[in-house]
Amino acid sequence: MRVILPDSTELELPDGATGLEAAAAIGPKLAEQAVLVRSNGEVKDLRQPLDDGERIQILTTRDTADPDALAVLRHSSAHLLAEAVRRLYPGVKIAIGPPIDNGFYYDFDFPEPIVEDDLERIEEEIRRELSEGRAWERQEVAREEARRRFAEEDESYKVELVEAAEEPISFYTQGDFTDLCRGPHLQDSRPIKALKLTGLAGAYWRGDEKNPQLTRIYGTAFYSQGDLDQYLERVEEAKRRDHRRLGPQLDLFHFSTHSPGSPLWHPNGTVIWNELEQLRSRENGKRGYQEVRTPIIYDSDTFWTSGHFPKYEDLMFKLDVRGQEFAMKSMNCPGHMLLFGSRPRSYKELPLRFSEAAPLHRDELPGTLHGLLRVRIVTQDDAHIFCTEEQIQDEIASCVAQARYLYELFGLEASAELSTRPGNKIGTDEQWDMTEAALEEAIRLNEIPYTISPGEGAFYGPKIDLFMDDALGRKWQMGTIQLDSQMPSRFGLTYVGADNTEHELYVVHRALYGSFERFIGILIEHYAGDFPYWLAPVQVRVLPVQDDHRATAGEIVGKLKDAGVRAEVDERDETVGKRIREAELEKIPYVIVFGDRESEDSLAIRARGGTQSTQSLDDFVAGLLPPP
RNA sequence: GCCGGGGUAGCUCAGCUGGCAGAGCAAGGCUCUUGUAAAGCCUAGGCCGCGGGUUCGAGUCCCGCCCCCGGCUCCA
C-alpha cells in the first residue's frame, strides 16, 4: 500500500503498516521523535494501522505548539497523574482524564477528601515516574473483557464508561497502570519535559449535579520548560488585565458585601456606561426601534402567564406586597407583551420594535458570581421585535448584522452558537426547517464562526447565542437572538391582517451587548484598561508646571470642556514627573504639560504611552475623534 | 448550591509551634516651585470578615455564618 506525505510524495509501505512504521521508513530520527499521525484533520495513534492512499502528517516532539501534539502530550500526562494517584491513595476510583485547552485533568473519587497540599506529593510522584520513564502500550479488547477487568478492580466509573464506549475498545498501559482509553498516546514519557499540577476542584460525574461529586485535579504539560514558563507568564499577564483588578484600580466600580453581585458604579465607570448607552440608543434609533419603559415588579400571575415562574422561579427575587406575591422581573418580555397587548394591533404596525435597557434582578447562586461577568443585577440592551411570519428572516438577519457591526466597532471577536429544535418542540418540522435555516443564513452572511448545538433551542424556537472570551480565555455569552411564538400566544397576542382576521404573532427577543455589566467587563479586559478616546472617563488632563501656570491651564481646560472634551486640570503640588506617572497609571489618553515654553498656539501634547507632539489647541481639538 | 483556597490599615502583603499587630505605597501636614512614569521630612490610620467556643491569654486553635478567588453546575 501507499500513503501520501504532506509534500505530496507517496510512500510505499507493507499492507497494514502503522504510523510508526511509516515514520521509520522515512528516517530513524523521525521515528524517534514522532508523537502521532494526523490524517485529514483526525489524529491517530502511531501504533494504529494506516489505510491505503491515506494522506498523513507525522507530528513530532518538535511541533511544540501544535494543538494536536500538545493534546497527546497532555493526555499521556493525565495517565501519569492517574497512575501516581492510584499508587499514593489506595482505594481511589478513577473516572475520566482528557486533555483540555491549556492542559489536562483527571477526575477521581477519593475515599478521603484531599486538599491542595496533597498536589505537591502527587507531583513529586509523577516526577519520579518521569525519571524512571514510562512507555505506552495499546491493546484492543472485547467489551466483555473490559467490563470484567474493571469490575474486578471495583472501578465502577470505568465499568459505566465501557458500556457506552465505541468499538474497538482499547486499553493503554504504562508501568503497572492500565486505563480504558481511545488514545492516541505518546510512545513513551521522554517528550514530557515540563509538567505542573495547577489546581483542585469538585466536578460532578458526567457533569450532572445529581451525580456524585468527584475530585478533579488540573495540570498542564509542555514539550519544554521554556514553554511552561511562557505559559505561566501569559497567565500572569492575563491576571493583570482582569477587570476585577482594573475596575477598582481605575475607579470604575466596586462591589460591596452589602449587596453581593451588584456593582456600585463610580463616576468614571458611569461615563463609560453612559457612552455605551448612547451608542445603543443611536444604533437602535437608526434601525427603527422605539424606546419604552416598563415596570420592574409584577404580580405572580404575570410570571405564571409568561412561563418564567415554572422555569426560573428560584432565581427570582420575590416580594410580599400587602399579602399579595409580587416578583422582580428577570427578563423584560412580560412588560413588553403587556405593552403590545394594550390595544389591538394591525399588520400595518409591524414589525414593531420595542427596546429597553432596564435593570433585571436575578438571584444567582453565590458560588456562580464573578465580577461584572456574572452579577445579580443584569442590565440588558434588550429589545422585542413583534412581527409576522414573513418578516422573521429579515428581522433576524438585521439583528445579527447589528451585533456584528457593534462588535467590530470595539475590535471584539465573537463566536456564535446556533441552538436547534429540542425534543419537546412545538410546531411543525417545516416551520423549524425554515426558522433554523433563517438563523444559520444570518450567521453565515455575517461571517461569524459558529457551532450548532442540536436540541439546545427553546421549545418555542431556535436561538443564536454570541460568545466572547475574557482575559483568561473563559467563554461568556454576550448577545442572544431568539425566535419565539410561544410568549405572544401565552399573553393572547395577535395582529389583525389585511384580511381583517387575527393572525399568529412572532417575537424576536434580542440583546446585543448582552448586558452592560458583562459587556463593560469584557471591554476592560479587551483594552486592558486603555479605553479608546471616546470611552475614556477622563480624556485630557492638563498639568501646569508651576503655580503661575495654573490660571492659563484652567482656561485651556475650560475651552476643552466647551468643545465637549472630558478634561480636567491636575494642579496638585507634585512634580511634573509624578503627575505624568499617575496620569499614565490612570490610562488617560492625553496629557498636556503647560509651562513657560507653551502657549495656546503651541501645546505640549503627550499621548498615552509617551509619544509627544506640539499642536495648537484648535488643531488638537479638531483631531479628536467623536464617538461612533 | 457543591469541591478546594482565602479574608490583617484605602491598596499590596508579612505576622514561626497561642504571649504588646508590622512594612511599602496611598492619605493628611510642612518644606521644595517643579519640564514628560515616583522630591524630602513629619503625622495619623486596625471590631485582624461576622458570631460563638477552648484558654490565664486567640490575628493564630475549634464550630457556625457571610463575602472573595479557582473550578463544577447554571447563565446575559
Q: Is residue A380 among the annotated active site residues? A: yes
Residues A445 and A546 in one domain: no
The residue type of A469 is D
What average pLDDT does the segment A612-628 reach?
A: 96
C-alpha cell at A337: 407583551
Q: Which residue is nearest to nucleotide B38 (CA to C1')?
A: A578
- A590, exposed or middle or buried, with CB in 10 Å at 0-12, 13-18, 19+? buried
Distance in angstroms between the alpha carbons of the first and the last residue of chain A: 62
Query: What is the model's pLDDT at position A53?
Result: 83
Q: What is the DSSP string of A325-391?
A: EEEE-SSSHHHHHHHHTTS--BGGG-SEEEEE--EEE----GGG-BTTTB-SEEEEEEEEEEE-GGG
Q: Which residue has the cell 495656546?
A: A600
In angstroms, the CA A373 to CA A514 distance is 10
ipTM > 0.95 for the complex: no
Measured in angstroms, what separates residue A249's CA from nucleotide B44's C1'? 24
Residues of A (91-150) placing their beta carbon closer than 7 angstroms to any atom of strand B are 113, 115-117
Query: What is the model's pLDDT at position A110?
Result: 92
Residues A267 and A347 in one domain: yes
Average pLDDT value for chain A = 92
C-alpha cell at A596: 513657560
Position A497 in a domain: yes
pLDDT tops 80 at residue A424: no
What's the CATH code of the domain at A6? 3.10.20.30
Using a pLDDT cut of 70, give the percent of chain A over it.
Answer: 100
Q: Is residue A258 among the annotated active site residues? A: no
C-alpha cell at A165: 464506549
Q: Is residue A384 among the annotated active site residues? A: yes
Q: Specify the range with the lowest mean pLDDT, choosing from A21-30, A204-213, A377-386, A445-454.
A: A21-30
Kindly indicate the confidence band of residue A456, based on its pLDDT and cuts at 50, 70 and 90: confident
Strand partners, A475: A469
In angstroms, the CA A488 to CA A473 distance is 38
The dihedral sign for the CA sequence A125, A130, A134, A136: positive
Residues A498 and A608 in one domain: no
What's the CATH code of the domain at A595? 3.40.50.800
Residues A287 and A417 in one domain: yes
Q: What is the DSSP string of A108-174?
A: EE-SS---TTHHHHHHHHHHHHHHH--B-EEEEE-HHHHHHHHHHTT-HHHHHHHHHPPSSEEEEEE
Kindly indicate the confidence band of residue A2, based on its pLDDT and cuts at 50, 70 and 90: confident
Q: Which chain B positions come under 7 Å from a protein C-beta?
A: 1-5, 11, 31-39, 66-76
Residues of A (358-377) placing their beta carbon closer than 7 angstroms to any atom of strand B are 362, 364-371, 373-376
Where among A498, A527, A556 does a domain terminate? A527
**Which nucleotide is closest, CA of A548 to its C1'?**
B33
- Where residue A392 falls (left for φ over 0; alpha for ψ -120 to 50; beta otherwise) is alpha
Position A391 in a domain: yes
Query: What is the model's pLDDT at position A55?
Result: 85
> For A482-494, what is each residue's pLDDT tens digit?
998 889 999 999 9
Q: Which residue has the cell 422573521?
A: A392
Q: Is residue A382 among the annotated active site residues? A: yes
Query: What is the model's pLDDT at position A104?
Result: 95
pLDDT tops 90 at residue A151: yes
Kindly indicate the confidence band of residue A50, based on its pLDDT and cuts at 50, 70 and 90: confident
Query: What is the model's pLDDT at position A459?
Result: 78
In angstroms, the CA A385 to CA A292 distance is 13
C-alpha cell at A21: 512504521
Residues A318 and A451 in one domain: no
Residues A16 and A83 in one domain: no
Residues A256 and A225 in one domain: no
Q: Which residue has the cell 499508587?
A: A87
Measured in angstroms, what separates residue A541's CA from nucleotide B33's C1'? 20
The residue type of A338 is L
Position A13 in a domain: yes
User: Which of A505, A510, A513, A512 is closest to A351 using CA atoms?
Assistant: A505
What average pLDDT does the segment A406-433 reach?
A: 88
Query: What is the model's pLDDT at position A401?
Result: 95
Residues with Cβ < 8 Å from A26, sequence gap 6 or more?
A5, A11, A58
Query: What is the model's pLDDT at position A233?
Result: 87
- Strand, coil or helix: what is A290? strand
Q: Which residue has the cell 498501559?
A: A173
Kindly indicate the confidence band of residue A585, based on its pLDDT and cuts at 50, 70 and 90: very high
Position A357 in a domain: yes
> For A109-141, what is each residue's pLDDT tens digit?
998 888 888 898 899 999 999 999 999 999 999
Query: What is the model's pLDDT at position A540?
Result: 97
Q: Does residue A460 contact residue A504 with C-beta atoms inside 8 Å?
A: no
Query: What is the model's pLDDT at position A182?
Result: 87
Residues A98 and A159 in one domain: yes
Position A243 in a domain: no
In angstroms, the CA A495 to CA A301 distance is 23
In angstroms, the CA A275 to CA A329 distance is 25
pLDDT tops 80 at residue A40: no
Name the catalytic one among A45, A381, A382, A470.
A382
CA distances from A18 to A39, A63, A69, A419 (A): 13, 20, 18, 40
Give the angle A380-A385-A388 at the CA atoms, nearest 5°.
160
Position A534 in a domain: no
Cα A392 from chain centroid (whole Å): 28
Q: Residue A458 gets which letter from DSSP?
A: B
The residue type of A174 is Q
CA distances from A129 to A77, A132, A206, A220, A388 (A): 11, 5, 29, 16, 66
Helices assigned H by DSSP within A504-549 = 516-527
In angstroms, the CA A386 to CA A381 distance is 17
Strand partners, A225: none
pLDDT tops 80 at residue A423: no
> For A224-274, what is each residue's pLDDT tens digit?
999 999 998 888 888 889 999 999 999 999 998 889 999 999 999 999 999
The residue type of A418 is L
Strand partners, A352: A386
Where among A28, A60, A92 does a domain terminate? A60
Q: What is the dihedral of CA A37, A42, A45, A47, to 10 degrees?
A: -70
The residue type of A73 is L
Name the catalytic one among A380, A402, A482, A539.
A380
Q: Does residue A590 contact residue A607 with C-beta atoms inside 8 Å?
A: yes
Where among A21, A36, A60 does a domain terminate? A60
- Asked if A511 CB < 7 A from strand B, the reply is yes
pLDDT tops 80 at residue A427: no
Query: What is the model's pLDDT at position A330?
Result: 94
Range(s) of the domain holding residue A154: 67-233
Residues A184 and A287 in one domain: no
What average pLDDT does the segment A17-33 reach?
A: 86
A476 vs A15, which has greater pLDDT?
A476
Q: Helix/strand/coil (H, E, C) string of A558-607?
A: HHHHHCCCCEEECCCCCCHHHHHHHHHHCCCCEEEEECCCCECCEEEEEE
> For A296-355, what is each residue's pLDDT tens digit?
999 999 999 998 888 888 889 999 999 999 999 999 999 999 999 999 999 999 999 999
Query: What is the model's pLDDT at position A1?
Result: 84
Measured in angstroms, what separates residue A516's CA from nucleotide B36's C1'? 36
Number of C-beta neighbours around residue A361 at 10 A? 20
Position A10 in a domain: yes
- Asked if A626 CB < 7 A from strand B, the reply is no
What's the CATH code of the domain at A522? 3.30.930.10
C-alpha cell at A260: 453581593
Residues A178 and A277 in one domain: no
- Asked if A574 CB < 7 A from strand B, the reply is yes
Measured in angstroms, what separates residue A257's CA from nucleotide B52's C1'? 22
Give the angle A203-A205-A207 at the CA atoms, nearest 5°.
70
**Which nucleotide is closest, CA of A581 to its C1'?**
B37
Residues A169 and A256 in one domain: no
C-alpha cell at A124: 513529586
Measured in angstroms, what separates residue A572's CA from nucleotide B20's C1'? 40
- Strand, coil or helix: what is A623? helix
Domains in chain A, number: 5
Position A89 in a domain: yes
- Strand, coil or helix: what is A226? helix
In angstroms, the CA A328 to CA A313 distance is 11
Residues A136 and A281 in one domain: no
Query: What is the model's pLDDT at position A317?
Result: 93
Name the catalytic one among A185, A353, A376, A509.
A509
Q: Helix/strand/coil (H, E, C) string of A156-212?
A: HHHHHHHHHCCCCEEEEEECCEEEECCCCCCCECCCCCEEEEEEEEEEEHHHCCCCC
- Strand, coil or helix: what is A355? strand
Q: Which residue is nearest to nucleotide B73 (CA to C1')?
A: A209
- Asked if A477 CB < 7 A from strand B, the reply is yes
